[in-house]
Structure 1
Amino acid sequence: MRRIWALRPLLAPETYSRGVYLLLGGVVGVPYVALAAVFVQAIRGNGGADIAMFVLLAGLTIVVGAGVAVLPASRALAITATRTLLGVELPEPEPDSATRWDVRRRVALWYVASVLTGGAMLMLVLFAVPTGLGLCAVPFTDSATAQELIRRTPASADGIGPSLATIAAGLAMVLGTVYSVAGAGAGLARLAPALLGPTEADEIAALRRRERAAAARNELARELHDSIGHALTAMTVQASAGARVLERDPAFATRAFHHIENTARAALEDLDHVLGILRANDSGGNGPGTALPAAAPAGRSLADLPALFTAYPADRVEVTLAGDPVRVPAAVSREAYRVAQEAVTNAVRHGADGPIMVSITVSDKHIRLEVDNPRGSASRPGTGRGLLGIRERIALHSGTVTAGPSGDRWVVVAEIPWEGQ
């Protein structure tokens, strides 16, 4: 096992992909070496007295070296290259992180480390590999220089001949270069997360973006649950009533079928609106981490509640509206509409037969909404998603909601403040 571990750097594909990364870093460092050579030559040529040339070349070196490292695109390029060649998994950077100077400083450190390490490995490869291969080929060459090199190579203590000693020295140089490249690549791979990975600010921004995305998904789920659930419940009630009286009261059955048609159209409108939001978000129309637009169509408001419940029998839902709902901000009015819709849907699905009382009071400071219905039997329990959606809607506007039995009735009371909104 120890032998296999020792051979692993020679056989592992990442050794050579990381070697490519190091050599590229060394190649990037070549212009800096050339600039330094010009710098030194200029000083020597002027006897070290040309201060203006010294300052100019020093400033140029700093500008070129630092300027490349702090470019906003440098981090994205470095992360892509690190993933591909160093094999380090790094998360996607936050869109605005590349412009922050703390991130730029870290990228600059990574740039310097990559160039210096890559330059050292490039010089080692350019010297050691050709020299090592040349030593391996010496015993098979008849030139006088090769024979003189073999003659001067001391034999090992075990009595290995000069030719074998020369080959061994060449192989040691080549293998030592491979191990050096593997070690340098592994070192950069361990350093990459610290310099190219997410900062604390990035992690906070990513957490907030995930929270916004989760809130948007919950909003869409509530809209689908409330609108489609209400539509299906209303259509079921109308279809059942229409089927029972179809022969003895065709006019009532016709009205029921019209209600089913209108309810289905409204449900399709809501569904198309929500699906349109989903498609826009998937195509990047809202940008990463941005809030989705209101999932409920703009026409849904408290003023629409009387029309909403006409799909039920005339004596099933009684709506009492006190105050002027037009004064209520659209966002609050829309949420109150959905809360009443879901509460009545739950009452029809899980409550007993009997009138459902909906009372809405609009004051200068808040809306009070109460839905009161006969309690159903325990054999018709719900999933709880409807009440959870109601509580989430009310919480978005810092309101309160209570739901529970009161004698033989089930009462839902929601209060939504809206003063100053």
Structure 2
Amino acid sequence: MSLVLRRLTDKTTWRRWSYLVVGGALLMPYWFLGMLLVGFVPLLPDNWISAVAVLITPIFAAFVTGLVPTVRPLESVAARELLRGASSELNARPPDTWESRGRAGAWFSLHLHVGVVIAAMSLAIPPFAIALLLFPFVDMGRFTDEAPLRDWKHSAWAWLGPPAGLLMVFVLIALIIAAGETLSRLAPLFLGPSPSERLAELESRAVKLAERNRLARELHDSVGHALSVVTLQAGAAGRVLDTDPAFAREALGAIEESARSALEDLDHVLGLLREDASTRTAPQATLKDVDRLLEQTRIAGVKLDAEVAEDVEQVPPAVSREAYRIVQEALTNALRHAGRVPVRLRITIGGDQLEIDVSNPLGGASAGHHSGGRGLDGIRERVTVLRGHMIAGVDDGRWRVAVTLPLRSGS
């Protein structure tokens, strides 16, 4: 009794009641269809088959309607907003299998038929309950000539009317609560995704996560390198501004170029995040652009000993793009953790492999610093995607990053 009273003041109860009543209203056209079809069947009016057909036809017709792909998303939204409870997490898409369509059709038919029962009782019981509540106090003989009613009015049985009316209202509310709660629990079973749809959703999330990680690497490598170079270039320009104005001007020009390049990369990545089609085909840096990268690093005050194979332009585009980012991140790590120390870079091609070797002397606590941040993790992820090999660590007093990438996918 107390549970019913608490539920009576709960908004969720009446949201669920409205969901059921809407289902009852939606069933009416199907009942009219059933009665229309039965009228054309050559059966006797009193034949019980006609009555069964009137009841079966709406069930079947509602089920067929539920097979329409758009029904499941609509029902899911309605159940999520009105049924609440277990249905709150529903976010179904149009079904892609007949099994999912069948469950949606069964749910639509169930919704409509449970709803029509609740709707009919909601219309019929309250007036009848009010009549029972007033039965001992109103002379029913004024409204009817039925002898039993006149006799009951003047007997002790008349006082059973108010309790019976209250009981009927209580039963109606209990049925509304029970029907709403039951449908809320059943909705995920009928409207929820199938195992194949769950698998497809997980695959979609994995693809999105991989894309986000890729974009994060792009931002980290491009913008992070530009900021590191710009910081060193600005410091170098500031120190020689009075003594070597020509070098200072060159450094400021390099800062401008580095910043512009970083903005282009940032605009490209943000365009991908916005799903801007105009930025999807924006050119990305490859090993063809490595000379500009090396020049920017030298202007920052780094003594760079670099040897780049002449045929790097023949490297496949996918490998060339990732290799450029690997070189960029390796140089950024050297700038960030070791400062303006001599850096040795070798990019060679041997057989079906591209080899990148970057090393620099250790300075102070730089050996420990190399293990922090996301730089090495980003390089390792790129190498793993291309099925290459990577070595990073201290080698004979120098910090060394060595990467080997296959030039062909089958390598």
TM range (shorter): 0.7 to 0.9
Partner residue in 2 for 1:37:
35
Partner residue in 1 for 2:296:
311
- Give yes or no for the alignment of 1:173 onto 2:174: no
Partner residue in 2 for 1:321:
308
SS at match of 1:98: coil
Structure-2 change in CA distance of 1:280 and 1:400 (3 Å): same
Q: Which moved more, 1:4-13 or 1:264-273?
A: 4-13
- Give yes or no for the alignment of 1:410 onto 2:399: yes
Partner residue in 1 for 2:271:
276
Partner residue in 2 for 1:356:
343
Shift of 1:164: 2.9
Partner residue in 2 for 1:381:
369
Contact kept, 8 Å, 2:24 with 2:119, in 1: the verdict is yes
Structure-2 change in CA distance of 1:137 and 1:44 (3 Å): farther
- Give yes or no for the alignment of 1:18 onto 2:7: no
Structure-2 change in CA distance of 1:400 and 1:151 (3 Å): farther
CA distance in structure 2 between the partners assigned to 1:352 and 1:11 by the alignment: 69
Partner residue in 2 for 1:68:
65
- AA at the equivalent of 2:80: R
1:392 to 378, 381, 386: 381
- Please list, as runs of the form range in 1=range in 2, the aligned pairs for 1:8-407 lying within 5 A after superposition: 8-43=6-41, 64-87=61-84, 88-94=87-93, 97-144=94-141, 148-149=148-149, 151-152=151-152, 161-280=156-275, 293=280, 298-313=283-298, 316-351=303-338, 353-378=340-365, 381-382=369-370, 383-407=372-396
TM-score with structure 1 setting the length: 0.85
CA distance in structure 1 between the partners assigned to 2:409 and 2:201 by the alignment: 32
CA distance in structure 1 between the partners assigned to 2:349 and 2:63 by the alignment: 63
Contact kept, 8 Å, 1:93 with 1:202, in 2: the verdict is no
CA deviation map 1:293-349 (0-9, x unaligned): 58xx52411121121121233761122112512222222111100100110111122
Shift of 1:352: 5.9
- AA at the equivalent of 1:331: A
Structure-2 change in CA distance of 1:224 and 1:396 (3 Å): same
Structure-2 change in CA distance of 1:45 and 1:215 (3 Å): closer
CA distance in structure 2 between the partners assigned to 1:108 and 1:215 by the alignment: 36
Contact kept, 8 Å, 2:63 with 2:106, in 1: the verdict is no
Shift of 1:41: 4.1
CA distance in structure 2 between the partners assigned to 1:235 and 1:47 by the alignment: 93
Contact kept, 8 Å, 2:90 with 2:188, in 1: the verdict is no
Structure-2 change in CA distance of 1:63 and 1:135 (3 Å): closer
Contact kept, 8 Å, 1:234 with 1:311, in 2: the verdict is yes
- AA at the equivalent of 2:336: R
SS at match of 1:247: coil
Shift of 1:413: 0.7
What percentage of aligned pairs have identical amino acids? 36
- AA at the equivalent of 1:267: A
Contact kept, 8 Å, 1:10 with 1:179, in 2: the verdict is no
CA deviation map 1:23-62 (0-9, x unaligned): 222222223333333344444656899xxx9xx9999878
CA deviation map 1:91-132 (0-9, x unaligned): 3224xx523211101101111211221222233333323222
- AA at the equivalent of 2:209: A
- AA at the equivalent of 1:346: N
SS at match of 2:275: helix
Contact kept, 8 Å, 1:150 with 1:166, in 2: the verdict is no
Structure-2 change in CA distance of 1:399 and 1:269 (3 Å): same
Shift of 1:16: 2.0
CA distance in structure 1 between the partners assigned to 2:4 and 2:18 by the alignment: 21
Shift of 1:167: 1.4
Contact kept, 8 Å, 1:220 with 1:274, in 2: the verdict is yes
CA deviation map 1:364-409 (0-9, x unaligned): 5221111011112216725331001111111111112110000111
Gaps of at least 5 residues in structure 1 are 156-160, 287-291
Structure-2 change in CA distance of 1:207 and 1:45 (3 Å): closer
Q: Which moved more, 1:169-178 or 1:144-153?
A: 144-153
Contact kept, 8 Å, 1:365 with 1:419, in 2: the verdict is yes
| Aligned residue pairs, count | 399
Partner residue in 2 for 1:289:
none
Q: Which moved more, 1:138-147 or 1:371-380?
A: 138-147
CA distance in structure 1 between the partners assigned to 2:154 and 2:137 by the alignment: 18
CA RMSD of aligned residues (A): 3.2
- AA at the equivalent of 1:91: L
Contact kept, 8 Å, 2:221 with 2:328, in 1: the verdict is yes
SS at match of 2:90: coil
Contact kept, 8 Å, 1:32 with 1:61, in 2: the verdict is yes
CA distance in structure 2 between the partners assigned to 1:274 and 1:322 by the alignment: 29
Structure-2 change in CA distance of 1:93 and 1:40 (3 Å): closer
TM-score with structure 2 setting the length: 0.87
